[in-house]
Amino acid sequence: MVPPMNRIHLILGMFCLALIFGKPAAALAGEPLDQLKGSTDKVLSILSDPAMKGPGKVKERRELILKTVDERFDWEEMARRSLARHWAQRTPEEKKEFISLFRELLERVYADRVEGYSWNKIHYDEERIDGNFAAIKVKIFTAKDQVIQVEYRVSKKGNHWMVYDISVEGVSLVNNYRTQFNEIIVKSSYQELIKRLRAKSVQN
């Protein structure tokens, strides 16, 4: 039997130990989510800014939004993951060109959707951190009261958690482009893929 006084010491000691060693990840929890939320809030504030409204401001507004998105999106990682096993065969120049074409492609596809924003509310559901990687689940409530489930995948680069994939309703952006790019490269060639991406960028 342990004397009562010692027992209190024992409990206190265990409590301190638990404080020191218990779940170091818990102390970091929230960082990826906070950073993502910060960027999203910034985009939303640009969109709702009365000074940024009107047809004359479209270009300026888009540039401002893109700047914010650039701070949070890891374009190189996204491009690398989308090109998958074809990435290693490219020269540094080709990689650079591909990243910029890929960024333009996403910009074109998503800018209109973001600008035609009719989101009522964004609910940050949950965040799962696994070392230098994290997944953040977000629910977007549209003006029509529909719920769109979005999941962000982020990885830590220095002090920043950068987005490298987005899934909307369980469909991943990287997986989608990975399949498409692979099909084009396998059927014809990498040059053909670049040709198509360039043609798309000229269209705009």
Positions touching another protein (CB under 8 A) are 80-81, 83-88, 130, 133, 137, 144, 146, 153, 165, 167, 169-172, 174-175, 178-179, 182
Q: Burial-class residue 146 by CB neighbours within 10 Å (0-12, 13-18, 19+).
A: exposed
Q: Which residue's CB is nearer to another protein, number 62 or number 137?
A: 137
Q: How far apart are CA 129 and CA 25, in angstroms?
A: 8
Closest distance of CB 20 from another protein, Å: 24
Q: How far apart are CA 136 and CA 180, in angstroms?
A: 25
Place of tokens 């830590």: 156
Q: Are strands 160-168 and 119-130 parallel, antiparallel or unpaired?
A: unpaired
Q: Which residue's CB is nearer to another protein, number 7 or number 96?
A: 96
Closest distance of CB 172 from another protein, Å: 5
Closest distance of CB 81 from another protein, Å: 5
Nearest-5° Cα angle at 102, 154 to 58 = 90
Closest distance of CB 80 from another protein, Å: 6
Q: Which residue's CB is nearer to another protein, number 103 or number 177?
A: 177
Q: How far apart are CA 182 and CA 86, in angstroms?
A: 8
Q: Which residue's CB is nearer to another protein, number 182 or number 201?
A: 182
Q: Which residue's CB is nearer to another protein, number 56 or number 145?
A: 145
Q: How many CA atoms lie within 13 A of 8 on its CB side?
A: 2
Closest distance of CB 127 from another protein, Å: 13
DSSP-assigned letter for residue 148: E
